[in-house]
Amino acid sequence: MKKSYSSPNPGDRIQVSLDNNKKEEGILLESHDKGVLLLKLDNGYNIGLKKESIEEIKVIKNEIGSEIKVSEEVNNKLKLSGKKPIIDFIITGGTISSRLDPKTGGVKDLTDANEFFKTYPEIFEKADVRIKSPFMKWSENMDFKDWARIAKEVEKSLKDDNVKGVIISHGTDFLHYTSAALSFMLGKLNKPVVLTYSQRSSDRGSSDARLNLLCSAEMALSDVAEVMLVGHATENDDYCYALQGNKCRKMHSSKRDAFRPINCKAFAKVWANGGREDKGNIEFLRKDYNKRNKGKVELDNVFDERVALIKFYPGQNFEILDYYRKKGYRGIIIEMSGLGHVISSGKNSWIPKLKEIIKKGMFVYAVPQTLYGRLDPYVYESGRRLQEAGVVYLGDILPETGFVKLGWVLGHKVWRGSVATAQKMKENVSGEFNKRLGNEFLN
């Protein structure tokens, strides 16, 4: 094998083949000794490898900690015209900031903002764009710490009076977790916060990135002071949806219109420049959104990671509940049946065990694994018995949003009592509950 990449950067994940036939894999660190390559292994240890003993370096992934590089050309563009509104653009990784790697046939990150904005020059027509890139990650590798960091970056931007709105580009896989987290971590939102993505990398003719970015700019300049997820509404390249960040979900592995509103409508349909002729680029589908205002955003980016999400299945052993309790978890979100049932009868009944762990201090919340629709513990006896055992029902909330909300709520010391936690979990903090469900499938 030949070297597949000439020069890895610090932060890249690399595999090093040595002349003794051994291989080492880890994150490349900066080394002050030019003859030594410094590697952080997965077990946490660092090792130094003599460069002369290295046969081959293969970049596995270049994402961790690698700030996107802003080239001079891009910086020139970024000299603000002073005539256009300013959008702060936070690049965090994912397909939208990647391109096809002709060497492997797979996909790799764009490592340079230059590449990014060369690919999408039209975004500069509407606004002066400023770039930040706190990290470059695929979304499956993000966790609450990354959500908190993005929230912090967004707060900074929103507090800047010159900034009209924020766009965050992000991997698709778990984007709806991040958008749900931001919907809780950014209190008293005063300006639009838009998350966007692409399903195909930018260098493919069929990429959905261009429309998603242009529509994101439309929403970032709009009067909707909400955390939104903007992306294709249909399979065609015609218009996007501005979805409510905590009531949407990736519902398809690869389609452009993978993100769907669940148990609510999208805020709006959005077209790119002139796509809707002279009718304006935004058609609102709802009126119940928070308007742009002069208030100050309140960052509240805490999270208690000792929360778990369980999807119940028939015959499942309730001992899994003990596992989480013994591991020190403080809360569990259980995806029950649509109305909110688990095994409630016979020797495998979950009810005695739920009662026991709740008594011992665990918070247990029910969410619907049907995704669409609303729990209702009052229709059947078993729902009533689960409630008596202390399970709290979360209506029509998405499992993903329920999980994120529980971690966020338990991150607050003041809400940690069982009454306070349940009260906060049932409170409609950021539109995560929809009191009036309608045609949920038809969005």
Residues 106-165 that bind a copy of itself (CB under 8 A): 106-108, 137-144
How many residues touch a copy of itself (CB under 8 A)?
84
- Sole window of 111-119, 284-292, 395-403, 416-424 interacting with a copy of itself (rule: CB under 8 A): 395-403
Locate 365 and state its tokens: 């919340």
When the beta carbons of 13 and 405 are compared against a copy of itself, the nearer one is 13
Edge-to-edge strand list for the sheet holding 23-29: 46-50, 36-41, 23-29, 12-18, 54-62
Give the residue, chosen from 10, 187, 373, 431, that forms a contact with a copy of itself under the rule CB under 8 A: 373
Tell me if 406 contacts a copy of itself by CB under 8 A.
no
When the beta carbons of 226 and 335 are compared against a copy of itself, the nearer one is 335
The β-bridge relationship of strands 227-232 and 240-244 is antiparallel
Asked if 172 is an active-site residue, the reply is: yes
Give the residue, chosen from 117, 174, 184, 393, that forms a contact with a copy of itself under the rule CB under 8 A: 174
Tell me if 252 contacts a copy of itself by CB under 8 A.
yes
Give the residue, chosen from 9, 17, 349, 387, that forms a contact with a copy of itself under the rule CB under 8 A: 349
- Tell me how far apart the alpha carbons of residues 379 and 345 are, in angstroms, rounded to a whole number: 17
Contact present, 38 and 28 (Cβ < 8 Å): yes
Question: What's the closest the beta carbon of residue 138 comes to a copy of itself, in angstroms?
Answer: 7
Asked if 111 is an active-site residue, the reply is: no
Map the footprint of a copy of itself across residues 64-103, applying CB under 8 A.
64
Give the residue, chosen from 16, 309, 358, 392, that forms a contact with a copy of itself under the rule CB under 8 A: 309
Tell me if 338 contacts a copy of itself by CB under 8 A.
yes
Contact present, 186 and 155 (Cβ < 8 Å): yes
Tell me if 305 contacts a copy of itself by CB under 8 A.
yes
Give the residue, chosen from 251, 285, 422, 429, that forms a contact with a copy of itself under the rule CB under 8 A: 251
Asked if 421 is an active-site residue, the reply is: no
Catalytic residue (choose from 137, 250, 265, 269)? 250
Give the residue, chosen from 91, 166, 343, 354, that forms a contact with a copy of itself under the rule CB under 8 A: 343
315 sits in the region (left: phi over 0; alpha: psi -120 to 50; else beta) called left
Catalytic residue (choose from 92, 95, 119, 401)? 95
Catalytic residue (choose from 146, 173, 208, 304)? 173
Question: What's the closest the beta carbon of residue 426 comes to a copy of itself, in angstroms?
Answer: 18
In order of 15, 56, 59, 109, 131, the CA distances from 2 in angstroms are 13, 7, 12, 21, 35
When the beta carbons of 21 and 76 are compared against a copy of itself, the nearer one is 21
Question: What's the closest the beta carbon of residue 387 comes to a copy of itself, in angstroms?
Answer: 13
Binding-residue pattern over the window 216 to 245 for a copy of itself, x denoting contact by CB under 8 A: -------------------x----------
When the beta carbons of 117 and 403 are compared against a copy of itself, the nearer one is 403
Contact present, 189 and 169 (Cβ < 8 Å): no
Sign of the Cα pseudo-torsion (86, 92, 95, 101, in order)? positive
Tell me if 387 contacts a copy of itself by CB under 8 A.
no
Residues 6 or more apart in contact with residue 372 via CB below 8 angstroms = 262, 263, 440, 441
When the beta carbons of 82 and 346 are compared against a copy of itself, the nearer one is 346
Q: How many CB atoms lie within 10 A of CB 43?
A: 6
> Residue 43 carries which side chain, given as an amino acid letter?
N
Tell me if 188 contacts a copy of itself by CB under 8 A.
no
Distance of CA 414 to the CA centre of its chain: 26
- Tell me how far apart the alpha carbons of residues 440 and 139 are, in angstroms, rounded to a whole number: 27
Residues 6 or more apart in contact with residue 260 via CB below 8 angstroms = 243, 248, 249, 251, 443
- Sole window of 67-75, 216-224, 277-285, 304-312 interacting with a copy of itself (rule: CB under 8 A): 304-312
- Give the DSSP per-residue string, 157-216: HHHSTTEEEEEEE--STTHHHHHHHHHHHEES--S-EEEE--SS-TTSTT-SHHHHHHHH
Tell me if 51 contacts a copy of itself by CB under 8 A.
no
Map the footprint of a copy of itself across residues 13-42, applying CB under 8 A.
13, 27, 42
Asked if 257 is an active-site residue, the reply is: no
- Tell me how far apart the alpha carbons of residues 199 and 210 are, in angstroms, rounded to a whole number: 11
- Tell me how far apart the alpha carbons of residues 38 and 366 are, in angstroms, rounded to a whole number: 47
Question: What's the closest the beta carbon of residue 107 comes to a copy of itself, in angstroms?
Answer: 6
What residue has token string 């003599």? 50
User: Which active-site residues does the annotation give?
Assistant: 95, 172-173, 250
